[in-house]
Structures are given as structure tokens and as C-alpha cells.
Amino acid sequence: MEISRIGVVGAGQMGNGIAHVMALAGYEVLLNDISEEALSHALALIGKNLDRQVSREKISEAEKDAALERIGTTMTLTDLGKTDLVIEAATERETIKQAIFEDLVPHLQPHTILTSNTSSISITRLASRTDRPERFMGFHFMNPVPVMKLVELIRGIQTDEATYQACLKVVERLGKTAASAEDFPAFIVNRILVPMINEAVYTLYEGVGSVRSIDQSLKLGANHPMGPLELADFIGLDTCLAIMNVLHDGLADTKYRPCPLLVKYVEAGWLGRKTERGFYDYRGDEPVPTR
């Protein structure tokens, strides 16, 4: 099937990035959120990020203007029913995602493909709550979406080949690379990455190293562009904890037990960059370790 119109649920960190790259690739995009403020902020951020691409001569002014014209916004979820492909990019909580699909499904066209940008939740289980499990799959972008080249495509047990091929064509049109993943907890990237972050938090919790020494060690000793605690703040500590809980519950292995210190930070509301405090305090001119 030919995909030309794309609906994106959620105008946050991931949703606005997905809308950005889709519009730039020539797709008509309808971006949905429950907050008018979130939609306005998303459009402003997309414009700012497109301006940055123009300044770096990655795109032209005309391409930027055309991309912005392709993005529409709505606070009415059911408006997305007229699109060919829906990418859900809401909060990483299964109950919220299920409620979104439940409200959306009755309004979809028969051919519409449903996907989730979930970083860890079972695609098969999400698909089973819809009327089209064969046209449902995981479409997992990396953050920040305009920069990162990888997209994980995750098939549920019932996902058919036509759905996979249609989504693969979209990834290729974006100029990104698809990694095909099986539907097991956290898929490929987060199955490897987030336990590493959790281990870094344990290293801090047990007093083996400080925030700064742990991050410096991985940046200079393993050539990582960001330290694991810095990266956790960038991802969001609540998201890291949610993924660890999915791994722990889904695989029943104690090696995936979330570090108690990670739990405490989330309980405190110190979620990283988005709340201005996590393993670093971002309220000043320079990030300062909080521990």
C-alpha cells in the first residue's frame, strides 16, 4: 500500500521529532496532543530545528518552508482516522497507549496501519487490543529523531509481511536504517543500553564512583559520546525505570532489577533534563552533579 498521510499521537520529545522527519521526507503529517500548549511548543521546536538544518546547509529554506506547511495539528484524536499510518508516541505507560488505541480504532480506515514508538512494551500485547493485529507493529525511533539514523521495526506475532514492507519503505524514504527486531522485552537497543545505565546507577549507589567519575570513565575509557548518567538524564529517568521494570517483569531475571537509587530519583520527581534535575542539576549555567 502507498502511505502518504501520517498521524502522530503525542507532541512531546519523540512526537515532534517524528513529525519533523516525516514532513521533511514529503509526507502530510497530522500531529495530535491533548494540550494546545504542547502542540504550539512542538511547532516552534520543529521550526527551530529546521532552521538549524538550513544554517548547516543540510536543507534549503524552501525545503524547510514546505515541511512546515505539511504539518497540521489537532487536539481531537479521532481526526487521525483519515491517515494511512498512525505512529503513537505517547507516554511509556501501557494503560495510556491502550486507551489511545481503543479510542482511535473505531475511526480508522480499513487499510490504516497502527504503530507504536514504544521503547519496550510488548507489540503483540498492544496489537491484541485492536481490531487489526496483522496491521500493527513497533516503529521505534531513537532520540533525537532528526539526528539518529536507526529505526527499530518490531513485528508482533500477528504482524503481516505487507505491513512490515510498508513501514520499511517509510524508513528508507526518511533516509534512515531499519533494524528488524523480534517482540521481546525492550527489543534490541534498550535491551542492551538501559541495563548498562542501570548498572551505572548501581555503581553510583554502591559508592564505587561519583557521578562525574562514572561518566568520564565511559566517555574516555569506552569512547561513548555521553556518559551513562548523563544519557539517563537525557532519556528521562522515568523512561529508564519503566524499561527496567518491563525487562524485570518480562524476563523474570534478577539481573534486570532496577537500582533502588534510580527508583528514589523518580519518586523525587528528579527525572533528568526535562525537570531540570536528575543525576545533574541543570538550573545553572553548567550541569552540576547532584550526588
Residues of each annotated binding site for NAD(+): 10-15, 33, 92, 97, 119, 143, 274
The catalytic position among 16, 32, 116, 152 is: 152
Kind of pairing between the strands at 28-32 and 5-9: parallel
* 120 is known as an active-site residue: no
* 213 is known as an active-site residue: no
Residues of each annotated binding site: 10-15, 33, 92, 97, 119, 143, 274
* 140 is known as an active-site residue: yes
The catalytic position among 119, 120, 122, 198 is: 119
* 119 is known as an active-site residue: yes
Could you give the strand order of the β-sheet that contains 136-141, starting from the edge strand earlier in sequence?
71-74, 28-32, 5-9, 85-88, 113-116, 136-141, 150-155, 177-182
The catalytic position among 16, 140, 198, 230 is: 140
The catalytic position among 49, 116, 190, 198 is: 190
Which residues are known to be catalytic? 119, 140, 152, 190
